[in-house]
Amino acid sequence: MFRRLVIWTNIIILLILISISNVFAGEHTATADILSNSPWWVWPLVLFVVTFVLGIVAVLGGVGGGVLFVPIISGFFPFHLDFVRGAGLLVALAGALAAGPGLLKKGMAYLRLALPVALIASACAIVGAILGLALPTNVIQISLGITILGIVAIMIIARKSDYPDVKEADALSSALRITGIYYEPSTGEEVNWKIHRTPLGLALFVIIGIMAGMFGLGAGWANVPVLNLVMGAPLKVSVATSKFLLSITDTSAAWIYVNSGAVLPVIVVPSIIGIMLGSMVGVKILSKAKPASVRYIVIVLLLFAGTRALLKGFGI
């Protein structure tokens, strides 16, 4: 039942997005006419509904809200990319702030792992945000489209490892004492973990930070593979620490957008409330059923949104 509900919900989103996109493509469908001549409050209302559904889909699809928000909202709503990226960062930040306390208290997100990584990522996110606001919009649109299609490739290709084989901790992680123990309820065992390739992992967070600031995407899609596959942190620790990391990385980038004027409350607030309420509903659905098909629907949504960003960037 839930599976059908989710599939139908996604089909409806796609139809809404296609209808909305016609407004900007100059095609005069009935929906397009209604939306283009509608009063101001229609767009924030549609934004709230779409972000509510995105919140559900993000939880069920195992992705962050930010990665869906920016390409979909910038591709299909009349808002300029500058404001969408500012809102995207605040949406991702609010989600990370909401999840962070629980993840820290449960012992899944680790300060010792997060702090050095966050320092690099947040400093680089500032650079990314400044670059993102300074570069021409079409350059950012094209880069965003390429990045979204790259994320789709990562989602299809990258394998995750519950417990990566780390034979020996490297010198830097040993010096920083980045190691831990957590309780795994599914096996009833305590899991000891350590990491390796720390310098390479930290270097990759330079790129992740810049991209997070530039596109306002959040960065869970990149954080988790680097923490898990490159540095060797267990998957659960990687996912939780990544979510917590966003609360720091996105804070620095969000301030640049706020101080540059790229934040419109009429876009930000409905989006934050919509995606947070949607996430809560998503978590409830997830506790009863986990439709595997949602991941494919997320991939299709991202493919659609990434292609649209590319086309917009090329002025097509």
Residues near another protein (CB under 8 A): 39-41, 43, 78-80, 82-83, 90, 93-94, 97-98, 100-102, 104-105, 107, 110-112, 115-116, 118-119, 122-123, 126, 129-130, 133-134, 137, 175-183, 190, 247-248, 251-256, 258-269, 272-273, 276
- In the complex, the smallest distance separating the C-beta of residue 302 from another protein, rounded to whole angstroms, is 24
3-state class of 69 per DSSP? helix
Chain-centre distance for alpha carbon 145: 15
What is the C-alpha separation between 148 and 306, in angstroms, rounded?
Answer: 5
CA dist 260 and 81 (Å) reads 14
| Closest CB to another protein among residues 107, 199 | 107
Pick the closer one to another protein by CB: 182 or 221: 182
Q: How far is the CB of 277 from another protein (least distance, A)?
A: 11
Distance of CA 177 to the CA centre of its chain: 29
CA distance 69 to 47: 10
Which residue, 134 or 157, is less far from another protein as judged by CB? 134
Half-sphere exposure of residue 64: CA atoms within 13 angstroms, side-chain side = 36
When the beta carbons of 194 and 197 are compared against another protein, the nearer one is 194
Whose tokens are 């209808």? That residue is: 19
Pick 250 or 297: Cβ nearer another protein: 250
Provide the H-helix boundaries in 216-264.
Answer: 220-225, 235-259
What is the helix (H) or strand (E) element at residue 183, kind and residue range? strand 179-184
Closest approach of Cβ 121 to another protein, in Å?
A: 10
Task: Indicate the residue among 43 and 69 with the shorter CB distance to another protein.
Answer: 43
Q: How far is the CB of 214 from another protein (least distance, A)?
A: 12
Q: Work out whether the CA dihedral 285, 289, 290, 294 comes out positive or negative.
A: negative
Distance of CA 115 to the CA centre of its chain: 20
The alpha carbon of residue 94 and the mean position of all alpha carbons in its chain are separated, in whole angstroms, by: 12
Q: How many residues does the chain have?
A: 316
Distance of closest approach, residue 237 Cβ to another protein, in angstroms = 12
Give the integer Cα–Cα distance in Å for 54 and 51. 5
Return the closest-CA partner of residue 212 out of 272, 126, 279.
Answer: 126
Q: How far is the CB of 132 from another protein (least distance, A)?
A: 9
Residue closer to another protein by CB (options 178, 298) is: 178
The CB-of-229 to another protein minimum distance in angstroms stands at 22
Q: Distance between CA 128 and CA 132 in Å, rounded?
A: 6
Q: Measured from the CB of residue 102, what is the shortest distance to another protein in angstroms?
A: 8
Residue number, 80 or 295, with CB nearest to another protein: 80
